[in-house]
Structure 1
Amino acid sequence: MPKCELDAIDRRIVTELQTNARLSNIELADKVGLSPSPCLRRLRRLERDGYIDGYRATLRRGRLGLGFSAFLGVKINGHANDQALSFERTVVAMPEVVACHLVSGEADYLLEIVVPELEDYQRFLVDKLLNLPIVREVRSSIAIQTLKAGAPLPLAHLA
């Protein structure tokens, strides 16, 4: 695991940005106790060094008509080959897939997919995922209610 070299001010910067990435540099500087110029230099360094991956809006799935979420455990035939890499590239490019993890246990991959409704899920599963030649088995769990998603990363271990 790479060593994390964030001092207390860097940690406050990333904590504040996880809460509200729309803060202006002046607002951010005020919250972390810096003047704007040093705050901006630190922010640019955090971006350049890969601590900050990007900025985006968190959208409400249901409000946008994406009320159906499922978690799919996918087993594939073979792992250390070009076909497995092709599977990964293909799945990552599918817009319905909002998360993809290589996992241990019964499944090889855990996918989170989001679609408008059950019929769209069926089309995704049958027409896209099960059409991939390397896919051996898919087990689905349907989300009944989302209690927490997209939460900020816990950073207490950095202190």
Structure 2
Amino acid sequence: MKRNLDPIDRRILNELQAHGRMSIVDLAERVHLTKTPCSERVKRLERDGVICGYSAEIDPTEVDMGHVMIVHVNLAKTSDRSLEDFNRAVRLIPEVQSCLMIAGPFDYMLKVRTRNITEFRELLGEQISQLPSVMQTHSFAVMESVKETSMIELRN
């Protein structure tokens, strides 16, 4: 459901996306509100499901998870049941950071993060290729990540 967000809500959301750990006092100052109305707006945005959660951004190379592969997946069948089964199963693989259903020459595109190519190869053979209805996969090594973000810029 589309939410009607006023300019202050949008500023709050932009600030929290960029600086999720900032205090309500700092947030209120940045969006030109006092503490109480700012806090009430944040609680409403959380309660309404606009803010889904908070997280820390981790440097993958610092935790030895710098290897990224893109995997195109073709399914043998694309009935509603097959798609639901695939979706449910792929969500259980923690190394799959992103799974997008695609309209095009393949059915899904996965972003997979592992320690190295050997670990990826094992994951591909033992889990990804064994997902429901998988007929074929094509894997592409990511040489460099030029831009990655989960931020959604909200304009007034």
TM bucket normalised to smaller:
over 0.9
Q: Percent identity?
A: 32
1:7 and 2:6 equivalent? yes
1:78 and 2:77 equivalent? yes
2:62 corresponds in structure 1 to: 63
Secondary structure of 1:6's counterpart equals coil
Secondary structure of 1:127's counterpart equals helix
CA–CA distance in 2 between the matches of 1:142 and 1:154? 29
TM-score (norm 2): 0.94
CA–CA distance in 2 between the matches of 1:48 and 1:140? 40
CA–CA distance in 1 between the matches of 2:132 and 2:91? 16
Alpha-carbon spacing, 1:32–1:76, altered in 2? closer, same or farther (3 Å): same
Q: Deviations over 1:110-158 (max 9, x none)?
A: 11000000000100111111123510111111110111112421223xx
Letter in 1 for 2:43: R
1:95 and 2:100 equivalent? no
Q: Is the 8 A contact 2:89 2:132 kept in 1?
A: no
* Structure 1 residues 1-159: aligned runs within 5 Å: 2-156=1-155, 159=156
CA–CA distance in 1 between the matches of 2:125 and 2:138? 13
Which stretches in structure 1 are left out of the alignment for 5+ residues? none
Letter in 1 for 2:144: Q
- RMSD, aligned CA: 1.3
Alpha-carbon spacing, 1:37–1:108, altered in 2? closer, same or farther (3 Å): same
